[in-house]
Structure 1
């Protein structure tokens, strides 16, 4: 009998992968490829350009990393980047790097990360180490290209991950500029959850004879995900959120439309003693990383975010996703909800829906192919459940919410968030007019068991209301006659006498003539008026003025009517959208002038300090130079974590200092204070700075 093993058809064994890569895949526990991997990897290994479209969490990352590693095979001693991965956010770059590191466990291929928000010196050193793969965001890699530090003439494969998000963020022009620096003979891969019009136009230019890999509808959710739509008025949404979080045992990811609303929700949850952290785009990078680490280590239960986290941030094992406000675009709803129920695990999505948002959920359910019902099996993947939250449950937190509304700081957060949401609603596209037969009076099936006790209480009250005494009128009168001396009866009798009294006639007061001349009497310098001048804006309004740029750009829909009405927006024929010409001209001026010149000066300064030269593409790598660059890069990373290699670099050798000196404590306290002030809302920060200046005087 032949003892040779038969290879499984359709598995990683039949794909012809190099041994080091196959061993790393098995080491990660990947036994069977996902559908998108099974369809895309053979086409990529055959050298074809592809555009792959698959839902969030379907294994797209490994679908392009496995063929990339298999094509490069090992580290090249010839200088030049051979694999380029372009992504929209730095969080997504770090996530891709972690997966790539695991797949390169048994390989000598080198990779580097080049994203915004990180120091240039470390990126200079990583480029000098001759990496094979470069993971980068378009803005930062374009800056290195313009300053003549980076050459991409040896690139064999370029990958556009989350390509639809790249174009939604307005990075199409940067991608076209990068395309001019790439060789004509290269393999191009595009991976995305959806395919917008701009992406298809770019694919026709940047890709040659590509294959379109699409397994299912663009708008589809995993079968292991449960959808629950909870009807609640805007004034009751905060109470509904607090009740819902307290009922859920696992971690919760709460999505809000603007960063101002994120601040308000974070403040409110902390007042209710619910451990939470928050993240949004304008937050400082160090603070953002610290907040995410706390959530990943399960030190807090709730993470409140804008749509930044719908893609790009690696949040493993999120059990519950809550939409505090509903997005107008079904695509955004899908990406938000896709943070749970990943890799076949169960996930739960809850959306708080106000009356004006009902049309949006009907439109979304048409796209995802789920039926809205009020009763049914929760595990049925073809159903989505709707219903209202009983007012009895919402009133449980009402007393503390009333106290919170009296909080001055919360009032400021709420006022700013309300105005920001008004801006958001103006830019939000209208829902399609679809026929709705949703009864908003029905209770959601999740709460039917909980309100049974309330219904029993109501029945008891109704019985008391309908109670009829068995005593006769004579017996009751006899009892009342014995109680005339009771103080309560005396008070009732006195009240009747008072009510019988006739009211006094009203006397109209005559208006007295003004004897003082206010204009002469009022001291303009020290006089404080009792009423605000309506022609002048208050200082609070100036400090908290909200512009359209403060709103998360990802939640603004593509075809908004509000943007077209603004005078500063001009139609761009190439971009096929309205743009601000002044902002574009200013950005181009910075990219081509001041930023480039400053970057060249920083590069020369780094070369002078380290005595390292970047080698030209195609040269044989200098082992001594590469080793020195790697050592400097490693030292820089260790210093960032608090480790030092000698007395000149830090206070001790080898380990991290556990006991700090008084001056070190003061310095760390000052750094934390400055970071807190930097991440504070702009208007509040100005008030504090103004107060400090007065104290100094």
Structure 2
């Protein structure tokens, strides 16, 4: 077992050392051989027990190995590479040059990593510098002149500095981290990453953290890492067991009303929720509807002004707003630690995107819920997701089934959920109709929203054409899915009379007559004509007599 590496300078520290020695057998941070100032930073941050990625990766990193760590958002991967980094650097060394480099795909993630470094290293004299786009180059030049020990950067801005500063070198870097490496590659930084790699020392320690490992990234890892150790969490941990997953079927045009009902009636007012939509136009449109209905959300989308983006994120993080509406691109690198819910207003076309989105809730031992809206066009994607997760999927019982045996049916659903099955179902139509009227009033009363509605329609059409197709097997299976009933989550909203009415309404929708009205009328007219013909024959026979 690793020994605790401590230098004691006071009675208080002596007591802390003794405590750590007693706890060293626990398998916690105490057993990792951390120096006192690093350990104090970890404790001050509130960490008690290492997460699975920390428990598996940190001993390898502390031993000096190159590591490829595969873990979802919220797994604790940032601390898994920052704590060993601080342990390695120990203290500020003037005139040595940059000793550690962390590369992030977005300015938001880089900023969060920078803040995290400051918090963990609060008891150490370690200097960190943040190099991201959108900030002044001059102020960054001044920071670099102070000989930072650590640079946390986005690839584009780092390359800019390397081109501008003649004597800037990465040869002194001994510890390199490629964070969210799949996003780094997915956002087109591959060429810059290879250039950065070529400027680093051969003796460096290299770490690569990623949710996935596409082939291009695997080739990069082979080129840049020496005999890397792969740390991969069990596939079952892709979605936290503390996360409740709920799927609602809905028509595309009713999703606005469905979302309003969800945030008003189902989501508690003290919970914070992240809402994913397909395009920036939908962000703006939903923002307008929310505001008109008395809800003040925060919003983030791709080409948003940086100052506005900072302001919206700050308001959400300080809980001045409880809803954050985002696109996938804008959400890359966002880290909201205490998130309660995620809403997939537009269903993600890839299972891995779903896992990445919902992985932002139910973190660090907290519970959470992921709500997803599914249109008929989305059903094959829902089936693909459940094949990926190896989870059974079943429709909510119909209203007729519930009316016949409510207790028995609901008991079966509870048992299915406990067994890990997923249940999908509809919103009550009467509820949707009422809220849809409200949405219509809001939109029709605003010329800006009327124009945005048309823009959203066009943008969604383009989005639908460019997103990847579901598997052929899931397309085929989706056509044979049985009719679903109202989702069990809404059962408390429905009384017996309303259930009976819904059951009758659904039975009418399901009714398929043997003939259409025109066919029935045609046959009736034909029968009537024959009857008249027979009657005329009878009368003529009588007259003839």
> TM over 0.5: same fold?
yes
Q: Does residue 450 of the first structure (1) align with residue 471 of the second (2)?
A: no
- SS of alignment partner, residue 275 of structure 1: coil
Q: Which of the residues 26, 40, 53 maps onto 2:43? A: 26
Q: Does residue 259 of the first structure (1) align with residue 308 of the second (2)?
A: no
Q: Does residue 415 of the first structure (1) align with residue 436 of the second (2)?
A: no
Aligned length: 461
The equivalent residue for 1:152 is: 170
Q: Post-superposition shift, 1:60?
A: 0.4
The equivalent residue for 1:391 is: 429
Matches within 5 A, 1:198-277: 198-217=216-235, 220-247=238-265, 248-249=267-268, 250-277=271-298
In structure 1, what is the Cα distance between the partners aligned to 2:419 and 2:176? Answer: 37
In structure 2, the CA distance between the partners of 1:146 and 1:380, relative to structure 1 (3 Å rule), is farther
The equivalent residue for 1:605 is: none
In structure 1, what is the Cα distance between the partners aligned to 2:230 and 2:152? Answer: 24
Q: Post-superposition shift, 1:330?
A: 1.1
In structure 1, what is the Cα distance between the partners aligned to 2:110 and 2:299? Answer: 20
The equivalent residue for 2:530 is: none
Q: Cα RMSD between the aligned structures?
A: 2.3
- SS of alignment partner, residue 449 of structure 1: helix
The equivalent residue for 1:429 is: 468
In structure 2, the CA distance between the partners of 1:438 and 1:177, relative to structure 1 (3 Å rule), is same
CA contact (8 A) 1:17 1:70 kept: yes
In structure 2, what is the Cα distance between the partners aligned to 1:405 and 1:112? Answer: 47
The equivalent residue for 2:369 is: 348
- SS of alignment partner, residue 425 of structure 1: helix
Q: Does residue 439 of the first structure (1) align with residue 482 of the second (2)?
A: yes
Matches within 5 A, 1:477-496: none
The equivalent residue for 1:278 is: 299
Q: Does residue 48 of the first structure (1) align with residue 65 of the second (2)?
A: yes
Q: Does residue 166 of the first structure (1) align with residue 214 of the second (2)?
A: no
Q: Which shifted more, 57-66 or 24-33? A: 24-33
CA contact (8 A) 1:117 1:285 kept: yes
The equivalent residue for 2:93 is: 76
The equivalent residue for 1:572 is: none
Q: Post-superposition shift, 1:377?
A: 5.4
CA contact (8 A) 1:219 1:368 kept: no
The equivalent residue for 1:587 is: none
Q: Which shifted more, 366-375 or 147-156? A: 366-375
- CA shift digits 1:341-393 (9 cap, x unpaired): 11121111111110010110111122223322332259748333311112111
In structure 1, what is the Cα distance between the partners aligned to 2:126 and 2:301? Answer: 34
- SS of alignment partner, residue 33 of structure 1: coil
Give the number of the structure with larger relative contact order, counting CA–CA contacts within 8 Å between residues 6 or more apart.
Answer: 1
In structure 2, what is the Cα distance between the partners aligned to 1:459 and 1:60? Answer: 49
- SS of alignment partner, residue 417 of structure 1: helix
- CA shift digits 1:608-634 (9 cap, x unpaired): xxxxxxxxxxxxxxxxxxxxxxxxxxx
Matches within 5 A, 1:534-683: none
Q: Normalising by structure 2, report the TM-score.
A: 0.81
CA contact (8 A) 1:226 1:378 kept: no
In structure 2, what is the Cα distance between the partners aligned to 1:199 and 1:460? Answer: 53
Q: Does residue 327 of the first structure (1) align with residue 327 of the second (2)?
A: no
Q: Which shifted more, 63-72 or 296-305? A: 296-305
CA contact (8 A) 1:230 1:353 kept: yes
Q: Which of the residues 126, 129, 153 maps onto 2:146? A: 129
- CA shift digits 1:572-592 (9 cap, x unpaired): xxxxxxxxxxxxxxxxxxxxx
5+ residue gaps, structure 1:
463-697
CA contact (8 A) 2:417 2:423 kept: no
Q: Post-superposition shift, 1:219?
A: 7.7
CA contact (8 A) 2:23 2:30 kept: no
Q: Post-superposition shift, 1:417?
A: 1.3
CA contact (8 A) 2:289 2:443 kept: no
In structure 2, the CA distance between the partners of 1:401 and 1:28, relative to structure 1 (3 Å rule), is closer
- CA shift digits 1:268-298 (9 cap, x unpaired): 1111222212111211111111111111222
- CA shift digits 1:423-468 (9 cap, x unpaired): 1111111101233564343211101221225526849999xxxxxx
The equivalent residue for 2:528 is: none
In structure 1, what is the Cα distance between the partners aligned to 2:437 and 2:431? Answer: 13
Between Structure 1 and Structure 2, which shows a larger proportion of helix residues? Answer: 2
Q: Which of the residues 187, 190, 201 maps onto 2:208? A: 190
Q: Does residue 400 of the first structure (1) align with residue 438 of the second (2)?
A: yes
Q: Post-superposition shift, 1:171?
A: 0.7
Q: Normalising by structure 1, report the TM-score.
A: 0.63
4+ long deviations beyond 4 Å: 459-462
- SS of alignment partner, residue 22 of structure 2: coil
In structure 1, what is the Cα distance between the partners aligned to 2:293 and 2:362? Answer: 28
CA contact (8 A) 1:193 1:218 kept: no
The equivalent residue for 2:324 is: 303
Q: Does residue 86 of the first structure (1) align with residue 125 of the second (2)?
A: no
Q: Post-superposition shift, 1:409?
A: 1.5
In structure 1, what is the Cα distance between the partners aligned to 2:204 and 2:292? Answer: 56
Q: Post-superposition shift, 1:320?
A: 1.4
- SS of alignment partner, residue 158 of structure 1: strand
The equivalent residue for 1:59 is: 76
